[in-house]
Amino acid sequence: MRVRGDSHSDGWLISFDYLICNDTISPWKGNRPYNEPVIPRHDGLSRQERELYSRARQLLNESGLIRGNLVEMRRVCGKKTCHCRSDPEKKHRSLYLSLSVDGKPRMVYIPSDWEKRVREWASRYARLRDLLGQISLRSLEKLQKRGG
């Protein structure tokens, strides 16, 4: 049930809409509630398609998505007495996010305390991209099977 109302507060007229469903009250904005999922629910989907959409929703509900690949570099520093000069295995490690911004390649340094977080974001983005590819293929199959 959708409820509309007006409230007067300090001389201002405030208009509000709420969606009441299953004992839950949600604010309403435009044609849909604020908390309505970005990906629409479809009744005509197969079990596999519903599972793909569900997995995509789960990924979108988690915070942090970043496009790019993590690149580890090992370098020799400028100190003449540093161990990195004599032993190639002891070169200094640095991590970068490699991505393209406006068609130009970029390398963004990732501090060590951010490594775990950025790895999760990049992994989540890759999984979402794969899911969207599968959903797109299923839609293409439906399009090709249409009558006519």
Element (H, E) at 69: strand 69-75
Do 70 and 119 contact (CB within 8 A), yes or no? yes
CA distances in angstroms from 79 to 84, 85, 89, 97, listed in the order given: 9, 8, 16, 26
pLDDT score for 20 = 46
Q: CA 94, CA 75: separation in Å to the nearest integer?
A: 8
pLDDT score for 17 = 47
80 pLDDT higher than 60: yes
39 pLDDT higher than 90: no
Q: CA 28, CA 16: separation in Å to the nearest integer?
A: 8
CA distances in angstroms from 95 to 20, 70, 87, 92, listed in the order given: 49, 7, 20, 10
pLDDT score for 43 = 61
Give per-residue pLDDT as tens, 122-147. Answer: 999 999 999 999 999 988 888 888 75
